[in-house]
């Protein structure tokens, strides 16, 4: 065992392979960009194939290779299940899969794991059934959990080498010019898929909306695509928008949102030209609502909103409160529509969004980020990947990326959820180190990270209750009692990579 | 000496190094994409530097490295002269320069060559004074002439490895998000520069129009830029549009244009959804005018126009005759404006435009190309790089790319220019092999390449005089007499790369 900087124990084998977390910018060094094999396409050669089966044959996909998918269709994705079903039928085994994330809809993956079709996984997250199955120990090799920026880094630096990317394309022409704003299953930005397309040896565009050549706008260009396959349906539009949240009426969430907005607007960052990222939860959307009102009242305009774009941001831009939307992913249909229609709503890839090894990600220019948490501990470490029972059910997302890079990172969370404390002595799993978290906002008040004495000074007259993080934990435990220790097994079921590729934690089987 | 497929003699030393031309698609094989060294930028690090001098210091530029520039400012470019002057002052020697092309305005380059600052050059073209100086033998190493697609190929495959790209940026923010449609010296598309930015180890954006962050649209993203330098002026807008041609009134050019338009509209390619590229010469623009009228008369609409965009194409799009403009470079100011304002006017990079080693360039989808020539010979080989005196004065451009890939390639040229024949026994220098040229159009009529018997059949009833290429040559010689043989020296002053990287010809000193 090797203990990393956060005193998390990393099995020596994995510590050797990945290195261990040693501070937010300890491993940021020059490197050689990954390369790929390019098979040129001559004039008169067609890229259009008749089926996914034919595409798998043409790519020469074989045992042991790495394939990737994107999660822009979220709970409406048909592509990963379709492709894996065909691969399984063809008898190909021992694949590594590198989807940008895994949703509930991907439960058929469990059988592919059990049957030896899929033997390695890297993903931002694992939900419900798949998460529970992995946590039960069905895989010999641990899943590698990567943040959105960390995945882009891993691909750009060659840690993940994708042999074949199977990319759901809301619209494509026969030569592979793809966008996510036209077609039957529009998802808006293709920010995660763009990275796969750029670095994969071979790319198969799977579309249900074949457009005349040239299909524009071009999110993924023909020069990054080898084959195009037309199918009946690549996704369920309702599933794409599933989980897109309306403004909450929950009084606890509203109070958290109100406090968070007060912290933002009282900060020195709140001035003309500021920038923010809010995420998509109920409380996060409510923050936008309170923030919006103060921006109107005080005549403050933002230069850009980043993310994870929601209709709340789109509406603020329409009102003239936000100059530009910088979009790696859309959480709802209105945002996808806005990307299509509004030149100041701009699509970027995940590398530009958040990679710590890029020549400067957009998050480096970000003032304020609102982030969620399953747990926060008294060292301000945050868990967004496992439940309090230790079972994989969340997603790393852009959490550790944004919080490390922005100027004011705020984690919003209720003190308890039902009978489970959110503020705890030690998080079940660390995804984001406490050094990246500036302010924790709860319904009982805020706790400022004592490492940020400038913020303590800045907020000394703020009309929001201020507590220490230990106070918040005590209040949580007063309601729930001290949580029982989780009984783990000996098997490592997931490695939690920090965005720089080092291991910040591991997850054991339950 | 090695004789290539066109019986051009290539000195053994260069034949060994580059390989020799052996047919249009003889060298199109899978390859490993070039890589680059990335120096990550952390939060709070600034890219903004005070001067070009400081940028040169920061990049660590030293003797023997390769630097690049783009030619989107054409005769209005200030950047290459500014940067080379500073480099010379700093005493750095023995540089390779890889501009996308070289204009008359770059005459100071001659002194940098003589002083040993610049010892290797690759470029699409060489004009007037620089061309004459090189042809006189001032360089020990031959200039490597590459087509636009060939340059993109060379960069993408690592044949050209750019240590530092110095890119004139019509507008940029402090983090290096660049476009060519805003700012004081707008050039429109940055299609050539985009390739440099993608593959260079380090990129310096030099701008006279610093914009608030984030500057959109983003032609070159912050993730491809290391440093940003603000200067007073990067280019002269009048020079950018210099050479942009009005519709000709020259009766010979009009006749050529009329014949060319008849060939197009009588071809089987002329139907709804066809595509074309015309270039920017006087006769080429006149072709657009005749073509436009027939499109209106016969109610035929094009899917896209490619290039090299001119106002003539922009106007046709505004009239609804052309669905989309696909733009690697703008030849005039109205085209740059259109790129900014029109979502169906789409910017692409030179790799996507024309690289023979890409996963399919746009030219592969092109129906008809109108191309110019300094000379055409009786084997249909075309010279666009040297005058009839053997002196370097032209540019390879997209000539060999487009003609190889499109379905109907037409070379338009007068039979003679003044006392110089255009149609000759053997071109002074081969840039484009005759196998790529389908029809030669002159004021005396057309000559169809006998290799295209389908076209001979297609045009058998065409109301345009039809001659053999030998007839055309005889008519030219009847006017000018048989041209005298050029007296060459022993020094190889330029290597003419075919688009695949092999040598199609060399140029000797005069």
Residue A275 has φ and ψ, to the nearest 5°, of -140, 155
Which residues 394-413 on chain B approach chain A with CB closer than 8 angstroms?
404-406
Q: What is the mean pLDDT of chain A?
A: 96
A418 vs A430: CA distance, rounded Å? 22
Q: Do B364 and A224 touch (CB under 8 A)?
A: no
Write out the DSSP string of B404-434.
HHSSEEEEE--SEETTEESEESS-SS-SB-G
The tokens 């840690």 sit on which residue?
A159
**Contact call for residues B206 and B79 (beta carbons, < 8 A):** yes
Closest alpha carbon within chain A to B351: A223
pLDDT at residue B243 greater than cutoff 70: no
Tell me the per-residue pLDDT of B131-148, one tens digit each, with 9 for 90 and over: 999 999 999 999 999 999
- Partner residues linked to A230 by β-bridges: A207
* Residue that wins the pLDDT comparison between B462 and B247: B462
The tokens 């190929």 sit on which residue?
B153
**Residues with Cβ within 8 Å of residue A27, at least 6 apart in sequence:** A19, A500, A501, A502
Query: With contacts defined as CB-CB under 8 Å, which chain A residues touch B222?
Result: 352, 359-360, 362
Which residues 251-290 on chain B approach chain A with CB closer than 8 angstroms?
273
Q: Do B31 and A43 touch (CB under 8 A)?
A: no
* Common-topology check for domains A43-64+162-239 and A251-494: yes
The CATH code of the domain at A43-64+162-239 is 3.40.1080.10
**Contact call for residues B412 and B279 (beta carbons, < 8 A):** no
Closest alpha carbon within chain B to A305: B214
Of B341, B333, B343, nearest in space to B185 by CA: B333
Tell me the per-residue pLDDT of A127-158, one tens digit each, with 9 for 90 and over: 989 999 999 999 999 999 999 999 999 999 99
Q: What is the mean pLDDT of chain B?
A: 96
- The distance of Cα B164 from the centroid of its chain, to the nearest Å, equals 21
Residue B455 has what pLDDT? 98
Tokens at residue B169, please?
């940026």
Residue A247 has what pLDDT? 72
**Contact call for residues B279 and B306 (beta carbons, < 8 A):** no
Q: Do A221 and B41 touch (CB under 8 A)?
A: no
Mean pLDDT of A21-27: 97
Which residues 340-369 on chain A approach chain B with CB closer than 8 angstroms?
343-344, 346, 348, 351-352, 355-365
B142 vs B150: CA distance, rounded Å? 17
Q: Do A221 and B31 touch (CB under 8 A)?
A: no
> Which of B214, B349, B400, B405 to substitute to test the interface with A, most A CBs within 10 Å?
B214
A450 vs A438: CA distance, rounded Å? 8
A187 vs A185: CA distance, rounded Å? 6
Q: Do A216 and B324 touch (CB under 8 A)?
A: yes
Closest alpha carbon within chain A to B344: A216
Residue pairs spanning A and B at CB distance below 8 A: 176
Q: Do A356 and B30 touch (CB under 8 A)?
A: no
Closest alpha carbon within chain B to A153: B40
Query: With contacts defined as CB-CB under 8 Å, which chain B residues touch A30?
Result: 37-40
Give the closest of B38, B216, B351 to A324, CB-based.
Answer: B216
Mean pLDDT of B54-62: 98
DSSP class of A498? -
Q: Do A357 and B40 touch (CB under 8 A)?
A: yes
Q: Do A404 and B224 touch (CB under 8 A)?
A: no
Angle at A89 between CA A87 and CA A94, to 5 degrees: 50
Closest alpha carbon within chain B to A218: B346
Q: Which residues of B416-449 are buried (b: 16+ CB within 10 A; e: fewer)?
A: beeebbbbbeebbbbbbbbbbbbbbbbbbbbbbb
Question: CA B380, B386, B388, B390 torsion: positive or negative?
Answer: negative
Residue B279 has what pLDDT? 80
3-state secondary structure A377-421: ECCCCEECCECCCCCECCECCCHHHHHHHCCEEEEECCCEECCEE
Q: Is the pTM of this model over 0.90?
A: yes
Tell me the per-residue pLDDT of A241-250, one tens digit each, with 9 for 90 and over: 776 566 788 9
**Residues with Cβ within 8 Å of residue B150, at least 6 apart in sequence:** B355, B356, B396, B400, B401, B497, B498, B499, B500, B501
Q: Of A235-239, A399-403, B164-168, B289-293, where does mean pLDDT reach its minimum? A: A235-239
Of B52, B329, B31, B47, nearest in space to B158 by CA: B31
Residue A238 has what pLDDT? 85
User: With an 8 Å Cβ cutoff, is B221 touching chain A?
Assistant: yes
Domain A251-494 is found in CATH 3.30.43.10: no
Closest alpha carbon within chain B to A361: B223
User: Judging by beta carbons within 10 Å of its beta carbon (0-12, 13-18, 19+), is residue B7 exposed, middle or buried?
Assistant: exposed
What stretch of H or E contains A477? Answer: helix A469-480
Tell me the per-residue pLDDT of A274-313, one tens digit each, with 9 for 90 and over: 999 998 778 888 999 999 999 999 999 999 999 999 999 9
Give the closest of B32, B346, B360 to A47, CB-based.
Answer: B360
What's the gap in Å between the CA of B219 and the closest CA on chain A? 12
B29 vs B25: CA distance, rounded Å? 9
Of B322, B356, B353, B368, nearest in space to B190 by CA: B353
Q: Do A223 and B304 touch (CB under 8 A)?
A: no
Tell me the HSE value of A47 on the side-chain side, using a 13 A CA sphere.
33
Of A277, A276, A287, A279, nearest in space to A248 by CA: A287
**Contact call for residues B143 and B151 (beta carbons, < 8 A):** no
Residue B238 has what pLDDT? 85
End-to-end CA distance of chain B: 19
**Contact call for residues B136 and B107 (beta carbons, < 8 A):** no
Q: Sorting pLDDT into bands at 50, 70 and 90, what band is B244?
A: low
A136 vs A158: CA distance, rounded Å? 30
Tell me the per-residue pLDDT of B478-506, one tens digit each, with 9 for 90 and over: 999 999 999 999 999 999 999 999 999 99
Q: Sorting pLDDT into bands at 50, 70 and 90, what band is B245?
A: low
Tell me the per-residue pLDDT of B326-338, one tens digit each, with 9 for 90 and over: 999 999 999 999 9
Tell me the per-residue pLDDT of B433-461, one tens digit each, with 9 for 90 and over: 999 999 999 999 999 999 999 999 999 99
Give the closest of A38, A218, A362 to B30, CB-based.
Answer: A38
pLDDT at residue A237 greater than cutoff 90: no
What's the gap in Å between the CA of A332 and the closest CA on chain B? 23
Write out the DSSP string of B322-366.
EEEEEEEEESSHHHHHHHHH-TTEEE--HHHHH-TTSS--GGGG-
What stretch of H or E contains A457? Answer: helix A453-458
Q: Do B40 and A359 touch (CB under 8 A)?
A: yes
Residue B248 has what pLDDT? 82
Q: Do A405 and B43 touch (CB under 8 A)?
A: yes
Tell me the HSE value of B466 on the side-chain side, using a 13 A CA sphere.
15
Tell me the per-residue pLDDT of A40-58, one tens digit each, with 9 for 90 and over: 999 999 999 999 999 999 9
Residue A243 has what pLDDT? 64
**Residues with Cβ within 8 Å of residue B246, at least 6 apart in sequence:** B282, B285
Residue A337 has φ and ψ, to the nearest 5°, of -65, -45
End-to-end CA distance of chain A: 19
Q: Do A359 and B326 touch (CB under 8 A)?
A: no
User: With an 8 Å Cβ cutoff, is A42 touching chain B?
Assistant: yes
A385 vs B247: CA distance, rounded Å? 65
Give the closest of A224, A343, A360 to B175, CB-based.
Answer: A360
User: With an 8 Å Cβ cutoff, is B454 touching chain A?
Assistant: no
pLDDT at residue B283 greater than cutoff 90: no
Closest alpha carbon within chain B to A402: B43
Cis bond upstream, residue B400 (ω within 30): no
Q: Of A311-315, A365-369, B59-63, B408-412, where does mean pLDDT reach its minimum? A: A311-315
- The four Cα atoms A395, A396, A397, A401 give a dihedral, to 10 degrees, of 170
Q: Do A35 and B30 touch (CB under 8 A)?
A: no
Which of left, alpha, beta for B188 (phi over 0: left; psi -120 to 50: alpha)? left
A440 vs B245: CA distance, rounded Å? 64
**Residues with Cβ within 8 Å of residue B453, at least 6 apart in sequence:** none
Tell me the per-residue pLDDT of B77-88, one tens digit each, with 9 for 90 and over: 999 999 999 999
Angle at A244 between CA A239 and CA A250, to 5 degrees: 135
pLDDT at residue A196 greater than cutoff 90: yes
B408 vs B131: CA distance, rounded Å? 31
Which residues 158-187 on chain A approach chain B with CB closer than 8 angstroms?
175-176
Give the C-alpha distances (Å, rounded to integers) separating A248 from A256, A263, A280, A283, A289: 11, 20, 11, 7, 10
**Residues with Cβ within 8 Å of residue B484, at least 6 apart in sequence:** none
Mean pLDDT of B157-172: 98
A425 vs A432: CA distance, rounded Å? 15
Closest alpha carbon within chain A to B364: A43
Query: With contacts defined as CB-CB under 8 Å, which chain A residues touch B216?
Result: 324, 343-344, 346
**Contact call for residues A218 and A182 (beta carbons, < 8 A):** no
User: Judging by beta carbons within 10 Å of its beta carbon (0-12, 13-18, 19+), is residue B350 exposed, middle or buried?
Assistant: buried
Residue B295 has φ and ψ, to the nearest 5°, of -60, -40
User: Judging by beta carbons within 10 Å of its beta carbon (0-12, 13-18, 19+), is residue B249 exposed, middle or buried?
Assistant: exposed
Query: With contacts defined as CB-CB under 8 Å, which chain B residues touch A33?
Result: 35-38
Q: Do A30 and B37 touch (CB under 8 A)?
A: yes
A464 vs A250: CA distance, rounded Å? 19
Q: Do B224 and A273 touch (CB under 8 A)?
A: no
Q: Do B223 and A360 touch (CB under 8 A)?
A: yes
B20 vs A153: CA distance, rounded Å? 40
**Residues with Cβ within 8 Å of residue B152, at least 6 apart in sequence:** B195, B349, B350, B351, B353, B354, B355, B358
What's the gap in Å between the CA of B325 and the closest CA on chain A? 10
Parse chain B into domains and list their residue ranges.
43-64+162-239, 251-494
């Amino acid at each position: 065992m090797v203990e990393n900087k956060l005193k998390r124990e990393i099995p020596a084998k994995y510590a050797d392979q990945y290195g261990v977390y040693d501070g937010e910018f300890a491993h940021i060094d020059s490197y050689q960009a990954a390369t790929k094999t390019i098979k040129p396409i001559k004039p008169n050669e067609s890229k259009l194939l008749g089926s996914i089966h034919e595409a798998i044959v043409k790519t020469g996909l074989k045992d042991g290779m790495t394939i990737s998918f994107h999660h822009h269709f979220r709970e409406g994705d048909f592509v990963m299940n379709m492709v894996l079903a065909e691969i399984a039928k063809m008898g190909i085994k021992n694949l590594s899969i590198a989807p940008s994330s895994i949703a509930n809809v991907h439960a058929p993956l469990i059988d592919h794991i059990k049957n030896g079709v899929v033997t390695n996984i890297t993903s931002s997250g694992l939900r419900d059934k798949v998460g529970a199955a992995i946590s039960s120990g069905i895989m010999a090799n641990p899943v590698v959990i990567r943040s959105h920026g960390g995945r882009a880094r891993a691909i750009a630096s060659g840690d993940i080498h994708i042999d074949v990317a199977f990319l759901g394309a809301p619209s494509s022409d026969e030569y592979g010019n793809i966008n996510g704003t036209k077609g039957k299953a529009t998802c808006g930005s293709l920010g995660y898929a763009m990275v796969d397309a750029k670095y994969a040896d071979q790319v198969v565009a799977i579309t249900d909306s074949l457009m005349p050549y040239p299909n524009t706008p071009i999110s993924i260009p023909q020069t990054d695509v080898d084959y195009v396959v037309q199918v009946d349906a690549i996704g369920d539009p309702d599933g794409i928008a599933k989980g897109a949240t309306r403004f909450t009426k929950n009084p606890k969430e509203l109070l958290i949102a109100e406090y968070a907005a007060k912290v933002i607007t009282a900060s020195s960052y709140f001035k003309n030209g500021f920038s923010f990222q809010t995420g998509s939860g109920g409380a996060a959307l409510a923050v936008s609502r309170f923030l919006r009102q103060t921006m109107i009242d005080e005549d403050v305009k933002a230069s850009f909103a980043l993310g994870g774009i929601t209709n709340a941001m789109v509406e603020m831009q329409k009102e003239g409160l936000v100059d530009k939307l910088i979009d790696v992913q859309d959480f709802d249909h209105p945002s996808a529509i806005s990307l299509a229609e509004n030149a100041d709503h701009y699509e970027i890839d995940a590398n530009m969004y958040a990679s710590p090894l890029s020549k400067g990600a957009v998050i480096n220019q970000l003032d304020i980020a609102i982030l969620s948490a399953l747990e926060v501990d008294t060292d301000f470490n945050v868990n967004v990947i496992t439940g309090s029972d230790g079972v994989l059910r969340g997603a790393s997302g852009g959490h550790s990326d944004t919080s490390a890079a922005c100027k004011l990172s705020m984690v919003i969370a209720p003190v308890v959820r039902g009978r489970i404390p959110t503020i705890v002595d030690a998080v079940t799993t660390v995804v984001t180190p406490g050094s990246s978290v500036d302010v924790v906002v709860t319904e009982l008040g805020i706790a400022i990270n004592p490492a940020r004495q400038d913020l303590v000074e800045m907020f000394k007259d703020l009309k929001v209750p201020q507590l220490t993080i230990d106070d918040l934990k005590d209040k949580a435990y007063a309601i729930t009692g001290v949580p029982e220790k989780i009984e783990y097994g000996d098997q490592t079921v997931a490695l939690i990579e920090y965005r720089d590729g080092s291991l910040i934690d591991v997850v054991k089987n339950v």
